[in-house]
Chain A
Amino acid sequence: MTIRRRLTLWYAGILIASLLVIGLGTYQEISEQLRHSHRREPAAHALDETGELIFQVGLPAVLLGLLGGWWLTRRALAPVARLTAAVEKIQECNLREPLSRTGNGDELDRLTEVFNAMAVRLDGSFNRIREFTLHASHELKTPLTVLRGETETALRDESLSPAERERCASMLDELRRLTQIVDGLTLLAKADAGQIALQWETVRLDELVSDNFADAQILAETHDIKVALARCEEVSVRGDRHRLRQLLLNLADNAIKYNQPQGRVTMNLRRADGFAEFAIANTGAGIPPEILPRVFDRFFRGDSAHGNTIDGCGLGLSIAQWIVSAHAGTIRITSEPAKLTTVAVQIPVCAPQGTPA
């Protein structure tokens, strides 16, 4: 029950109670006076009239009180509703925009001020985390470069025994993986800080998709998976060619990696209603509904038993999500476990004259 309704009800209750008290008091007073006088006939009549009067005046008074109370609480609570609506719109990205204040110095204005101060502190914390990730990934690059260089130098030593050589090569594989993680982390940290400039141009998405289809077929072959391009309609978007290719390859790679032998991957590109819609479906084990909302989280891997057998840096879908949102698009994932898992991407199509949308 809302505060407004609760207050109105209380108010109505008090109103009725006070009316009853007044009514009862008046009634008793009049009947007392009448008992002391000796005229009987009109006495009963006067009592009846009083009762009627109380009823006739009391009922509208209660109704008016109810309406008035409702209006009053509504008026008193309107700033709270406005504040709620404003706070609801707060996201990580607009923390710096302060909520507008009335400036009249009342309790709610003070509350707004406190909210604004809290948003500033939160923004500071987010910034510190972003900067930390960015610095950490940069700091990791120098020792990684040295490690890789030294390991490769060691591997070039002709006098190495086969076992030593194998150990060095295996170390190099892990270093490559570490590099991928650091690269992905740097990319996302920079994207968060708004430090990545996309190279905008008009891109024929259908050409990128059919190119990607060819690569996906080859990647899928070793896993005994069939890839199909069900539809590929001609459509152009305004975007960064490299990033879009990265996105498509990333999604195709996932659809193959998380599939099962003899599985299928189906790609679909269509033009719909101002959008280019690319959908890629796979027949893998699927994603349980409870973890579906978390698949775009960084380093999130479904069940660990699954994650161990599949390599990758755990940042693929986060990167995909960033690329899509940088193109003002949306990405959704739906899954019917053990049947079909589909990732659908929508990107606004190019404006006719090639002006950015």
Chain B
Amino acid sequence: MRVLVVEDERKTAWFVRKALQAEGFAVDACPNGDDALAALQSTPFDAVVLDIMLPGRDGLSVLRQLRERKNSVPVLLLSARGEVGERVEGLNAGADDYLPKPFELAELIARVRALTRRGGENKSTVLRVADLTLDTLTRKAQRGASEIELTVREYRLLEFLMRSAGRLCGRMMILEKVWDYGFDPGTNLVDVYVRRLREKIDAHFETKLLHTVRGSGYVLKETP
């Protein structure tokens, strides 16, 4: 998997690159829009992390140019402005995802992962992690032999975590996918819901499945 990081801020580019490399991606970086377009013309990438505010040609213009050339590489936009309106503008211009600065690295990695896996997502109707199963048709959850009662929101949270099983899910990403919040509400809503869900799926079982990654988010997997 090869990712292009287009970011003019040197330090940000450095740690994004480092983090993606640590996750096994091959990473190229360039500091401006024109270089990015040239790189995208000559090399096939699996995803692009594109900052909106760039010197010279800005990120949105790069994106529009890219789509005009019928290049459909998945693009994650980064922006220091972080407004709902800008997000809509970015998605309309052909971006696949949008992340406001300052972001959490875990969040960025999770999103790049999701982009590169697009289409390859677990689409089966019965999701399974260890002895926990979730039937997305009947909306029934089961751990071992015992059935688990879930509220609508808990169900959506569990479905999201199970579809991304083994991968770290950041708070912002959970808020966006489960609550459809395009902003950080500044509450510990996610943590409280995860705690409740954990009580339901983990409390009476030896093997814990839902793990907290301090400072980053949550992950559903069999081994800690």
The answer to whether B12 and A142 have CB atoms under 8 Å apart is yes
The contact string, 1 if C-beta is below 8 Å from chain B, for chain A 122-166, is 000000000000000010011011111111110110000000010
Q: Which 3 A-B pairs have the closest CB atoms?
A: A172-B215, A149-B15, A145-B102
Q: CB within 8 Å of B: which of A213-266?
A: 214-215, 218-219, 221-222, 240, 242, 245-246, 249-250, 253
Q: Which of B26-34, B40-48, B80-88, B127-135 contacts A (4 or more CB under 8 A)?
A: B80-88
How far, in angstroms, from A83 to B33 measured CA to CA in the complex? 56
The answer to whether A219 and B82 have CB atoms under 8 Å apart is no
How far, in angstroms, from A99 to B188 measured CA to CA in the complex? 50
Question: Which residues of B sit under 8 angstroms from A165, Cβ to Cβ?
Answer: 214
Q: Which of A41-49, A179-187, A278-286, A298-306 contacts B (4 or more CB under 8 A)?
A: A179-187
Say if the beta carbon of B106 comes within 8 Å of chain A.
Answer: yes
User: How many pairs of A and B residues are in contact by the CB < 8 Å rule?
Assistant: 118
Say if the beta carbon of B104 comes within 8 Å of chain A.
Answer: yes
Question: Which residues of A sit under 8 angstroms from B151, Cβ to Cβ?
Answer: 214
Say if the beta carbon of A57 comes within 8 Å of chain B.
Answer: no
The answer to whether B103 and A146 have CB atoms under 8 Å apart is no
CB distance from B18 to the nearest CB of A (A): 6
Secondary structure of the A contact surface, majority rule? helix
How far, in angstroms, from A204 to B124 measured CA to CA in the complex? 34
5 extra interchain contacts, Cβ-Cβ under 8 A, other than A147-B102, A175-B102, A190-B83?
Answer: A141-B102, A148-B102, A149-B15, A152-B106, A156-B19
Query: Would A199 and B84 be within 8 Å (CB), given that A155-B215, A218-B193 are in contact?
Result: yes
A selection of 9 A-B contacts at a CB cut-off of 8 Å is A141-B101, A142-B80, A145-B102, A149-B19, A152-B15, A156-B19, A190-B83, A218-B193, A312-B186
Question: Which residues of B sit under 8 angstroms from A219, Cβ to Cβ?
Answer: 187-189, 192
The answer to whether B80 and A246 have CB atoms under 8 Å apart is no
Our pick among B88, B187, B193 for the contact of A199 (Cβ within 8 Å) is B88
The contact string, 1 if C-beta is below 8 Å from chain A, for chain B 11-22, is 110011011001
Task: Look across to chain B and name the residue whose beta carbon is closest to the beta carbon of A240.
Answer: B84
Question: Which residues of B sit under 8 angstroms from A155, Cβ to Cβ?
Answer: 214-216
How far, in angstroms, from A253 to B103 measured CA to CA in the complex? 23
The answer to whether A148 and B181 have CB atoms under 8 Å apart is no
Q: CB within 8 Å of A: which of B128-148?
A: none
Say if the beta carbon of B105 comes within 8 Å of chain A.
Answer: yes
Interface residues on B, range: 35 or more
CB distance from B203 to the nearest CB of A (A): 15
The answer to whether A145 and B187 have CB atoms under 8 Å apart is no
Say if the beta carbon of B153 comes within 8 Å of chain A.
Answer: yes
Say if the beta carbon of A169 comes within 8 Å of chain B.
Answer: yes
The contact string, 1 if C-beta is below 8 Å from chain A, for chain B 142-183, is 000000000111000000000000000000000000010111
How far, in angstroms, from A175 to B184 measured CA to CA in the complex? 14
The contact string, 1 if C-beta is below 8 Å from chain A, for chain B 42-80, is 000000000000000000000000000000000000001
The answer to whether B12 and A145 have CB atoms under 8 Å apart is yes
Question: Which residues of A sit under 8 angstroms from B81, Cβ to Cβ?
Answer: 138, 186
Say if the beta carbon of B24 comes within 8 Å of chain A.
Answer: no
Say if the beta carbon of B35 comes within 8 Å of chain A.
Answer: no
Question: Which residues of A sit under 8 angstroms from B120, Cβ to Cβ?
Answer: none
Q: CB within 8 Å of B: which of A306-324?
A: 312-313, 316
The answer to whether B11 and A146 have CB atoms under 8 Å apart is yes
The answer to whether B215 and A152 have CB atoms under 8 Å apart is yes
Our pick among A144, A156, A313 for the contact of B22 (Cβ within 8 Å) is A156
CB distance from B73 to the nearest CB of A (A): 23
Say if the beta carbon of A168 comes within 8 Å of chain B.
Answer: yes
How far, in angstroms, from A21 to B81 measured CA to CA in the complex? 81
Question: Which residues of A sit under 8 angstroms from B80, Cβ to Cβ?
Answer: 138, 141-142, 145
Say if the beta carbon of A173 comes within 8 Å of chain B.
Answer: yes
How far, in angstroms, from A182 to B186 measured CA to CA in the complex? 12
Say if the beta carbon of A197 comes within 8 Å of chain B.
Answer: yes
The answer to whether B189 and A215 have CB atoms under 8 Å apart is yes
Question: Which residues of B sit under 8 angstroms from A146, Cβ to Cβ?
Answer: 9, 11-12, 15
CB distance from A292 to the nearest CB of B (A): 23
CB distance from A311 to the nearest CB of B (A): 9
Say if the beta carbon of B119 comes within 8 Å of chain A.
Answer: no
Task: Look across to chain B and name the residue whose beta carbon is closest to the beta carbon of A222.
Answer: B192
Say if the beta carbon of B196 comes within 8 Å of chain A.
Answer: yes
